[in-house]
Structure formats: C-alpha cells, structure tokens
Amino acid sequence: MAQIDYLKSLIKLWQSRPQAEARADRVEYLKKLAQMGSRLAAPRARNADLARFVTQIMDRPNDLRWRLLGANVHRRRALDAQQRRALDTLDTTPDLLGPLGELRYEPSHSRLIARFLDATSEPEVAPSLLAEFLALIGKPEATPTDPRNATVHAERWFSTGRVDISVSLPDHLVFVEVKVDSEEGDDQLGRYWKALKAEASHREGILVYLTLHDAKKSSSRVPHVRLTLETLLAAWLPHAVVGAGPRDYLARYLKSLALVMGRCGHGAFDDWSITQQSAAIQLVEGIG
C-alpha cells in the first residue's frame, strides 16, 4: 500500500508540472525528483515518501544530477556552428549591466535597445538588428534601404508621457514601450497610441509592447504588437560575436538580457546550474 501511495505522489508531481515546452517539463520534473532525493542526506528521513524515493527509485540521488549534466554535454555537442557561437555569447563574462547593478533597470534596457537600432550610433550592427526587429513585429517591408533613413530616440517625451523608444522611418513610425518588472500604467498604451497617431501624420503607426515572456499581457484595446524580450534575444544572438568590437558590446548586453530571463548564469557556462545550462542550450537550439 505504501508503494502505491508513493507512485500516486509521483503521478501527482508530474501532473502539476509547469505547462511549458515538453523538454522543459521533463527537466523540471527530474529536478524536483533530485531535490526530493537530496533531502535524504540524514539517515532518518521525516517523510516516508522521500525514503521510498531512495529505496525504490535511486539510492544515490546525486547520480541524477550527473545524468542531467551529461545530457547537457551531449546537447551542447550537437549544436551547429551558429548555435555554438550564440552559446559563446551567453558564456561571455562579465555581462554589460550586471556589474553596474542595473540588470533589471528598464531605462538602461530602453537606451541600449534604442542604441542597437540606431545606425548613427552602431553602424556595424544596427542595420541588421533593425531589420530583425521590424521582421519580428510583422513589418519587414519597413526596413529602409539606407539605414540612415531611420531616426531612433530613447525616452522621447510627449504631452501624453514618455515613450521608451521611437523609431521614425520613411513610411512608418514605431513606438516601443519596454517592460522588465513593472506593469502597464493607467491607460499607458492608450495614451501612447494617441501620441503615435498625432505624430505619424501620413505614415503607418505601430505600437509595440516589449515585455518578458511571462509578463502579464496588456489589457489595452488600442492596436499594438506584443513582442517578448526573449524573442528579441534569440533574433539578435546570431549578430553578436565575443571579442569583436561593437559585436562584443552587443554580446555583453545580450548576456545581461539572458540573465534577466534566467536563460544563463553569471560567469562561465561550467559555473552555471544545470537548469541554467539547459535553459541556454534550449534557447540557442531554436536558432537557425
């Protein structure tokens, strides 16, 4: 009877797993099993279920950790050249914002994203990054033939409030609201939509809500495009190169962005937790 109860508890644990991508589910499940086993270091376990984990599932719970580490090694070896370069970007240290204590400071993210979209500030990387950004919001046709025809501003003020990023193009005007930890202010997107329509004139206006992937969606009824920072990170990673001038600068910012999302760890890859390694590999596996 005790064994049946224990198996039921394992089934319940599996059923309560996060509703995410299948591989992430398995990793989370195995991690929890490992945590259950790791609590049995003391010879007298208070929880009978934990004792049965050792006797019926794995008598050396640390073996599970080594198996997960081995799985990460095999997945890393299977990456193609572009994916390995992307992982190298996440492996770089130090990141850009961490040493400044600004990993989650929204104005820093707004200014840096605006800089990487602006060909006057970053002529080597901005044209390709702007093209990627416009494709992500469904407007690849807005990419200017001459990158200098894109005027980018960070923290642009209007009577309705401050817009985090403004991208002015010949036939389009894009306003971007960036959120890292905060939520949408009172009718914030509605106010920015009014400013956008007034400023766009004959051009098409596009309002972008740029947030973390698990952030609450905007309840605003005004037309807007929701874009996640994780999607932007994946699109920009192939354009970053560690130790190569402006592309190294981009690499260190993208490492900061990945840290915010839990898609990597501080320092080098070998110093990260199993979960952080797996999250980074999963991210770069989707590139290409």
Structural domain boundaries, residue 158: 87-285
Domain endpoint, select from 26, 45, 78: 78
Q: Are residues 56 and 21 in the same domain?
A: yes
For residue range 134-189, list pLDDT tens digits in order.
Answer: 999 999 999 999 998 999 999 999 988 899 999 999 999 999 999 998 877 778 99
Report DSSP letters for 99-116, one per residue.
Answer: GGT-TT-HHHHHHHHHHH
**How far from each other are the two terminal CA atoms of the chain, in whole angstroms?**
51
Mean pLDDT confidence for 39-63: 56
pLDDT tier for residue 54 given thresholds of 50, 70 and 90: low
Coil, strand or helix at 204: strand
For residue range 249-280, list pLDDT tens digits in order.
Answer: 999 999 999 999 999 999 888 888 888 998 99
Q: Closest Cα partner for 211 from 114, 91, 78, 106? A: 106
Which distant-in-sequence residues (6+ apart) come within 8 Å of 41 by Cβ? none
| Residue 136: per-residue pLDDT | 98
| Residue 256: per-residue pLDDT | 97
| Residue 21: per-residue pLDDT | 44
| Residue 231: per-residue pLDDT | 97
| pTM for this entry | 0.76
pLDDT at 24 over 60: no
Q: Closest Cα partner for 123 from 152, 155, 92, 161? A: 152
CA distances from 123 to 49, 95, 126, 205 (A): 60, 22, 6, 25
Q: Are residues 148 and 69 in the same domain?
A: no
Q: Are residues 98 and 57 in the same domain?
A: no
Q: Are residues 182 and 253 in the same domain?
A: yes
| Residue 58: per-residue pLDDT | 57
Q: Are residues 51 and 192 in the same domain?
A: no
Domain endpoint, select from 37, 61, 78: 78
Q: Are residues 143 and 56 in the same domain?
A: no
Q: Are residues 72 and 114 in the same domain?
A: no
Domain endpoint, select from 57, 78, 99: 78
